[in-house]
Amino acid sequence: MTESDQEFEKEYADLGATTQNAMDIAETSMDIVRQFVPDETLADRIRQKSVHSMGDIEFQHLIEFTGSDDLGDDEDAPVRAGARAVLEETTIVTDITMSKAGITGRGHNCEKRKAIGNGAELAKETGMTRTAASVLELDKQGVYDGAIATIGNAPTAAFALADCIENGTRPAAIVATPVGFVKAEESRKRIREVSEAYNVPAITNVGRRGGSGLAAALTNELIHVAKDVRTETLELEVTAEERAARAAGDEDDEDGENP
């Protein structure tokens, strides 16, 4: 990393911004989002990113956090787990090319892989979708264990991943926002069910909306959280309740209520 890159790392608000103008736009956009979305917990950062990605303030209410980590089952758990995985340089596995393309290459040293393109023979033999077959094929290779699993397009990929988890696979974290009218909502519900049953941290959304852009954006926020931890601007090992209490205390100090 060059000296200018290091200086840029200290300030940027969006991992996709590569110029000062782009950084200014990203910061202004997020400032607007924070007027409508709380800014107290790590889960709030995911909600903010969802609103930023979807252009819809109400979308913050559609994000779900399930599973647990060593600190507990609070809503920050999937964000902490995902950020830890980034810091540990785990693999990020997406369902399709578009999801992979949307995940930044900056701010981390994780390998990015896509499932699609694997499992062609299994799909041909069984008639299942190529995305479902590709997930099953990579799972046989052990790719999903300890990885960040990002699914933004294919409900069948989410169903396949859920089956893998039931059979013992343990991703470090899941971001699942498959989109559509055919079993998309059901596939995310299935992810939430196995997430709760097997304590696999997961970020999903409810409703028919979602998509690869959203999945990539939420994964990028995990990377951004990890970057903030690495640069010592954020403490990771804190529960959502404690983080919110600290934020409230900071606001009181600013208002002059605490001498």
* Rounded average pLDDT over 1-26: 59
* Count of beta carbons in the 10 Å neighbourhood of residue 166: 13
Q: Indicate if the pLDDT at residue 252 is higher than 70.
A: no
Selected residue with higher pLDDT from 43 and 29: 43
Residue extents of the structural domains in the chain: 62-244
What pLDDT does 12 receive? 40
Confidence of residue 69 (pLDDT cuts 50, 70, 90): very high
Confidence of residue 6 (pLDDT cuts 50, 70, 90): very low
Confirm if 13 and 234 have CB atoms less than 8 A apart.
Answer: no
Q: What pTM does this model have?
A: 0.89
62-244 CATH choice from 2.60.120.590, 3.40.50.970, 3.40.50.2300, 3.40.50.10230: 3.40.50.10230
* Rounded average pLDDT over 85-101: 95
pLDDT by residue (tens digit) across 213-224? 999 999 999 999
pLDDT by residue (tens digit) across 151-178? 999 999 999 999 999 999 999 999 999 9
Classify residue 138 as left (phi > 0), alpha (psi -120 to 50) or beta: alpha
Q: Of 94-108, 132-146, 190-204, which gets the smallest average pLDDT?
A: 94-108
Confirm if 149 and 87 have CB atoms less than 8 A apart.
Answer: no
* Rounded average pLDDT over 136-156: 96
Q: Indicate if the pLDDT at residue 82 is higher than 80.
A: yes
* Rounded average pLDDT over 92-109: 93
Q: What is the mean pLDDT of the chain?
A: 89
Confidence of residue 14 (pLDDT cuts 50, 70, 90): low
What pLDDT does 7 receive? 41
What pLDDT does 16 receive? 63
Structure tokens at 20: 């000062």
Q: What is the Cβ-side half-sphere exposure of residue 43, based on CA atoms within 13 angstroms?
A: 25
What pLDDT does 176 receive? 97
pLDDT by residue (tens digit) across 205-248? 999 899 999 999 999 999 999 999 999 999 999 999 999 999 88
Q: Which of 127, 130, 108 is nearest to 119 (CA)?
A: 130
**3-state secondary structure at position 93:** strand
Task: Characterize the bridge pairing of strands 92-94 and 148-151.
Answer: parallel
Task: Characterize the bridge pairing of strands 202-205 and 173-176.
Answer: parallel
